[in-house]
């Protein structure tokens, strides 16, 4: 499905089968010299067919088209290897590039998840069901690195890069000041809340995310182009809603820990999730993974504020209210 948003700016809905996200919004800017595609979809047949059909209808030649990828998650980056040609520039951010360059396999993340309480006998199956593992890009092309405040000109559009850490370490949005459009990636979504996961004790992604919401609050925006679901207009109102959501989440985690020390998996199992499933035991394994990652991000945030502390044993890490 193709939608014209502004002259020469289009949205192609890229299906994400069996995902609660439903589809990815891929944005295409047509220009006389070089076109640009913003985000691509998973590396799977259904995504590629939808992308190529849309580009064909728009008469966009991939040989005259560059890519801008907001962040490294596979539903945004996965199709890159299928779309690049010899002349393609693939614009990407430095922090997420460093994750790719330093990637030593999934084992450290699995080990960390085990320490956070994720059942060790389910870890391998959780990885096998993870879309980032199943549908990642087959290879990484040369990346053209853009940093905070850098600009990209495409036809009549002049986009400014705004680094918005949180959803990933280097997540980057695009802002077109003259047209007052904000390409938000997964930083601000309208119908759902972005998943803020944490899989490292060295990071505080929720703290980064809340700071990044504040960073874009004062922009003059008429229309937000998110990575998923509906386009929307009042970004400041949505930022307040997202801040309120995480404030309630923080209070929920503190209430859960009043019941005594618990690991992150246990905390996740008691949190409230917007999913039409009766019990935690019936959650799909991939959703348990995402939920646990989000629980960890809230626990790490509370650790940084010294509201909670931890005790790390050989098998698991327990979090508890800090009475000091």
**What is the secondary structure of 80-129 as a DSSP string?**
HHHH--TT--EEEEHHHHHHHHH---SHHHHHHHHHTT--GGGHHHHHHT
Which are the contacts of 64, defined by CB distance < 8 A and separation ≥ 6? 33, 34, 35, 87
What percent of the chain stands above pLDDT 70?
A: 100
Determine how β-strand 2-6 pairs with β-strand 9-15. antiparallel
Predicted confidence band of residue 272 (pLDDT cuts 50, 70, 90): very high
Number of domains in the chain: 1
- The answer to the question of residue 261 being in a domain is no
CA angle 71–181–246, rounded 5-degree value: 55
Work out the average pLDDT over 149-174.
Answer: 98
Judging by DSSP bridges, how do beta strands 317-321 and 308-312 pair with one another? antiparallel
So what's the pLDDT on residue 19?
Answer: 85
Sort strands 23-29 and 9-15 into parallel, antiparallel or unpaired: antiparallel
CATH number of the domain at 207, please: 3.60.15.10
User: pLDDT tier at 207 (50, 70, 90 boundaries)?
Assistant: very high
| 291 Cβ contact list (under 8 Å, min separation 6) | 268, 271, 273, 283
304 belongs to a structural domain: no
Domain range for 84:
2-234
Would 173 be classed as within a structural domain? yes
Asked if residue 226 belongs to a domain, the reply is: yes
Q: How many CB atoms lie within 10 A of CB 54?
A: 20
Return d(Cα 308, Cα 212) in angstroms, integer.
24
Report whether pLDDT(323) > 70: yes
Q: Is the pLDDT of residue 303 over 70?
A: yes
Nearest-angstrom CA–CA distance, 296 and 197: 7
> Are 77 and 109 contacting, i.e. CB atoms less than 8 angstroms apart?
no
Choose among 270, 269, 217: nearest CA to 243.
Answer: 217
Residue 278 in any domain: the answer is no
Confidence of residue 64 (pLDDT cuts 50, 70, 90): very high
Contact between 6 and 37 under an 8 Å Cβ cutoff? The reply is no
- Looking at the domain assignment, is residue 157 inside a domain? yes
On the question of pLDDT at 122 being above 70, the answer is: yes
Number of CB atoms found within 10 A of residue 65's CB? 23
pLDDT exceeds cutoff 90 at 102: no
The maximal CA–CA distance of the chain, rounded, in angstroms, is 64
Q: What is the C-alpha to C-alpha distance for residues 224 and 233, in angstroms, rounded to an integer?
A: 6
Please indicate, yes or no, if residue 305 is contained in any of the structural domains. no
Would you say residue 93 lies in a domain? yes
């Amino acid at each position: 499905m193709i939608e014209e948003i502004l002259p020469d700016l289009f949205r192609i809905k890229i299906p994400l089968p069996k995902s609660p996200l439903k589809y990815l919004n891929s944005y295409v800017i047509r220009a006389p010299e070089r076109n640009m595609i913003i985000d691509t979809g998973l590396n799977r047949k259904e995504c590629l067919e939808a992308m190529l059909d849309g580009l064909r209808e728009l008469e966009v030649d991939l040989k005259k088209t560059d890519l801008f990828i907001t962040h490294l998650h596979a539903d945004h980056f996965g199709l890159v290897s299928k779309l690049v040609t010899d002349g393609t520039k693939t614009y990407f951010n430095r922090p997420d590039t460093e994750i790719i360059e330093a990637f030593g396999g999934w084992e450290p993340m699995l080990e960390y998840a085990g320490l956070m309480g994720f059942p060790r006998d389910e870890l391998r199956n959780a990885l096998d069901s993870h879309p980032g593992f199943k549908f990642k890009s087959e290879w990484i092309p040369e990346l053209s690195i853009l940093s905070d405040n850098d600009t990209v000109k495409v036809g009549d559009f002049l986009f400014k890069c705004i680094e918005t850490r949180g959803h990933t370490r280097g997540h980057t949005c695009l802002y077109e000041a003259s047209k007052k459009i904000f390409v938000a990636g997964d930083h601000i979504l309208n119908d759902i809340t972005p998943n803020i996961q944490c899989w490292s004790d060295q990071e505080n992604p929720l703290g980064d995310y809340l700071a990044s919401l504040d960073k874009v609050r004062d922009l003059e925006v008429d229309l937000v182009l998110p990575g998923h679901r509906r386009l929307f207009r009042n970004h400041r109102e949505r930022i307040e809603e997202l801040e309120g959501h995480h404030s309630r989440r923080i209070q929920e985690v503190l209430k859960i820990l009043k019941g005594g020390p618990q690991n992150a998996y246990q905390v996740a199992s008691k949190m409230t999730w917007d999913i039409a499933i009766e019990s935690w035991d019936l959650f799909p394994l991939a959703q348990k993974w995402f939920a646990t990652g989000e629980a960890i991000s809230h626990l790490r945030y509370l650790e940084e504020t010294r509201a909670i502390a931890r005790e790390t044993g050989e098998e698991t890490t327990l979090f508890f209210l800090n009475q000091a």
